[in-house]
Amino acid sequence: MDRIKIIGGQKLNGTIPISGAKNAALPLMIASLLTPDRLTLKNVPNLADVNLLARILRNHGVDLAVDGKRTGPAQHIGETFHLSARDIVDTVAPYEMVSRMRASFWVLGPLLARCGQAKVSLPGGCAIGTRPVDLHLTGLKELGAEIEIENGYVIAKAKGGSLRGGRVTFPKVSVGATHNVLLAAALARGETVIENAAREPEIGDVAECLVKMGVKIDGIGTSTLTIQGANQLEGAVHSVLADRIETGTFAMAVAATGGDVTLEGARPELLKTALDSLAEAGVEITPTNSGIRVVRNGHGIDPVSVETQPFPGFPTDLQAQFMALMTRAKGTSVIRETIFENRFMHVQELARLGADIQLHGDIATIKGVKGLTGAPVMATDLRASVSLVIAALMAEGETMINRVYHLDRGFEQLEQKLSRCGAQIERITG
Judge whether 126 counts as a catalytic residue.
yes
- 241 annotated to bind ligand: no
Is 175 annotated in a binding site? The answer is yes
The H or E element containing residue 423 is: none
Number of H helices, E strands in the chain: 14, 24
Tell me if 102 is assigned to a ligand binding site. Answer: yes
168 is in an annotated binding site: no
What residues does 189 pair with on adjacent strands?
A: 164
- Close Cβ partners of 281 (under 8 Å, ≥ 6 residues apart): 255, 301, 302, 303, 304, 325, 326, 329
Check whether 347 is labelled as a binding-site residue: no
Nearest to 195, CA basis, from 225, 159, 229: 225
What span, in angstroms and rounded, lies between the C-alpha atoms of 186 and 213? 9
133 is in an annotated binding site: yes
SS (H, E, C) 327-341: CCCCCEEEEECCCCC
User: Do the annotations mark residue 132 as ligand-binding?
Assistant: yes
Residue 131, annotated as binding a ligand: yes
C-alpha to C-alpha distance for 186 and 216, rounded to whole angstroms: 9
**Which residue of the set 115, 126, 209, 421 is catalytic?**
126
User: Collapsing DSSP states into helix, strand and coil, what is residue 346?
Assistant: coil
Rounded CA gap, 218 and 307, in Å?
30
State how far the Cα of 336 lies from the Cα of 227, in Å rounded to an integer: 35
Q: Where are the beta strands (DSSP E) in 259-413?
A: 259-264, 284-287, 291-296, 306-307, 332-336, 356-360, 363-367, 376-378, 398-402
270 annotated as ligand-binding: no
| Sheet-wide strand order for 191-195 | 167-169, 191-195, 224-228, 216-218
CB contact set of 121 (below 8 Å; sequence gap of 6+): 93, 94, 95, 97, 98, 99, 105, 152, 153, 154
**22 has binding-site annotation:** yes
Q: Is 173 annotated as a binding residue?
A: yes
243 is in an annotated binding site: no
Q: Annotated binding residue at 159?
A: no
Catalytic residues: 126
Q: Residues annotated in the binding site for phosphoenolpyruvate, as ranges?
A: 22-23
Q: Residues annotated in the binding site for UDP-N-acetyl-alpha-D-glucosamine, as ranges?
A: 102, 131-135, 172-175, 317, 339
Q: Residues annotated in the binding site, as ranges?
A: 22-23, 102, 131-135, 172-175, 317, 339
